[in-house]
Structure 1
Amino acid sequence: MAASETAHSHSQQALLDAYAKLLVRVNYMHELANAEQWAELIEQRSNYVVLVEELRTLDVTVTLDAQGKQRKTELLEQILEHDVEIRRRLVARRDELGKLIGVTQRQRDLHRAYAPQQGVYSDHESDPSRDKGAS
């Protein structure tokens, strides 16, 4: 029975360690979002997803005691708090990029609409600079 309890204790600790590792990762991602390090954040998000999948597999196989459940709950609350803030920052960034794209599209449309009227000559019109050189 003691060997069984030891194995259970190790697997429980491995699960809690996995949650702690995920908390460290999401905390780092939160720091990246606050620093507006978007490329690094996206890269870390990929690693985060892998950790979540590994944790999900481990979580199904391990039964936690009351103390383990309490610790898991604490870790999950912290993970979710960071995750909500990261998502909020990402949505704000998406909105900001959307506005910039809209401005760029309007500028391009204006340029297309008014560029022909700003001294662009067709083959049939005379170019005053060419006439000066021909005289």
Structure 2
Amino acid sequence: MTSGSPVIEQYRQLLEVSTQMLGLAREQQWEALVQCEAGYLVSLQRVKSLDREQSLNGSEREQKRDLLERILEQDAETRRMLESRREELSHLIGSSRRQQALGQAYQAGRGSIASRLRAVPTDERP
């Protein structure tokens, strides 16, 4: 099922990059995934350009359809994992903000108590 068509070869390369990105998402290698996405976008632009320039025969159109289906399935799974990661980070940021607010409230209350204690003469303190 090998084709000499440059368009089909570009779709295969796009599928390879998509597969790599999905693997990185599964391994939670987020920084590497972001870097890999740059290569994916370059491959995508090449495919779009070649696809407009060349017409495909029936067999090549079928190969293109199969490759596109696999690419889209992997892309959807990668996006689900990224959405899950975004929600996780959002939760962590919310928790961090709450902890920071509690810490600030504690420090403010602590300072307030200390200043009130200083205002009370030593012999009147409990």
TM-score, with structure 2 as normaliser: 0.85
Q: Does 1:94 find its partner at 2:69?
A: no
After TM superposition, list the pairs within 5 Å mapping 1:36-115 onto structure 2: 36-115=28-107
CA drift of 1:119 comes to 5.5
- Counterpart for residue 25 of structure 1: 17
TM-score, with structure 1 as normaliser: 0.79
* Structure 1: gaps of 5 or more residues: 1-8, 127-135
Offset from partner CA, 1:50-93 (integer Å, 9 cap, x none): 11011101110010000000000000000001000000000000
- Partners of 1:118 and 1:31 lie apart in 2 by 50
Number of residue equivalences? 115
Offset from partner CA, 1:29-67 (integer Å, 9 cap, x none): 000000000000000011101110111011100100000
Calculate the aligned-residue CA RMSD, in Å. 1.9
- Partners of 1:61 and 1:116 lie apart in 2 by 68
Q: What SS is found at the alignment partner of 1:36?
A: coil
Moved beyond 6 Å, runs of 4+: none
Letter in 2 for 1:118: R
* Structure 2: gaps of 5 or more residues: 120-126
- Counterpart for residue 123 of structure 2: none
